[in-house]
Amino acid sequence: QLTWNLSFTLFSCIAVNVYVKIFTNSPFLVCMDLALSQEEVIDPNYLWIGPDGKNLEGQIYTNLTETGKLMVMGFKESMSGAYTCTLSHKIIETDTQDETEMLEAYKFMVYAYREPDYTYKISVRFTTKECKLVANDQFFEELKKILDNIISDLACHVIDPSYKCHSVKRPKHSLLHELFVSFQGNKFQCLISFYSSSNFFNRQTYALKHDFQTLPTIHYVDHSFEVTRIDSCRPGFGKNDITHNDCASCCVVCDPGTYSPNNEVTCRTCVRTQIKQYGAKSC
């Protein structure tokens, strides 16, 4: 007569961060570690629990295979959170037939994310005679018209144009006055257009060196043309290269206790009330 000696052993794993682009399907989450996947597993049984504490088997938004792999489909902000799987299996001693029931726990922190929106900021400088010069404003208005004409072919428009005049002291030079001009564009076509406009400024450098015996009162500062990409996130999302260093460039859904009401890049901490859901847009 055989007697069964049953014992139970529980192992748990560190949580793994997984990032799923909004409205797409998650990768398959595997209820098994690499070492165990290389071994024989006897009588495996898988139990997946979602962020709301409910069993995920049979849910219309999940694809759960017989080998314990989980896919979450059409991922939304509200689906973010902890997904845990408990794998139970047996180890049977060959000589004694003693059975040990093994319980392995795996935890995945799954976050919705978006690609950041972005604008391109252009900075360029012009030397002027003095900051109070009346011609500075006239020059700036003419510059805006020229830039609009240059980039209008690619459905890009200059937005938020501005300038400030500053006094600049460089080594081995006397005090200079410069117009710091900046403007933005919010389409990818604008990036192409802006680099086209850089040719315009490069031509100014050539003209100043070859066509003018006396420099104009206001003229382009050589090599001052710069393009900077400025990222922004949708409400309810933000960047955090410490918490989410595996997806540092992503706009990740705001954690419970935080929120983002606008297109800022970071989620704010809410101190007035306790936010329990992911992706909050208000405090």
Query: 83: which residues sit within 8 A by CB, 6+ positions away?
Result: 29, 48, 49, 50, 51, 56, 70, 72, 107, 108, 109, 110
| pLDDT value of position 227 | 83
The pLDDT-based confidence of 36 (bands split at 50, 70, 90) is confident
pTM for this one?
0.73
| pLDDT value of position 187 | 58
Strands (E) located in the chain: 6-12, 16-21, 29-30, 42-49, 62-64, 69-72, 81-92, 99-114, 117-128, 159-168, 176-185, 219-220, 226-232, 237-238, 251-253, 258-259, 268-269
| Mean pLDDT for all residues in the chain | 83
| pLDDT value of position 50 | 95
Checking if the pLDDT of 171 tops 50, the result is: yes
Q: Tens digits of per-residue pLDDT, 138-161?
A: 988 888 887 777 666 556 667 788
Checking if the pLDDT of 213 tops 70, the result is: no
Checking if the pLDDT of 57 tops 60, the result is: yes
Checking if the pLDDT of 121 tops 80, the result is: yes
Candidate from 133-142, 178-187, 267-276 with smallest mean pLDDT? 178-187
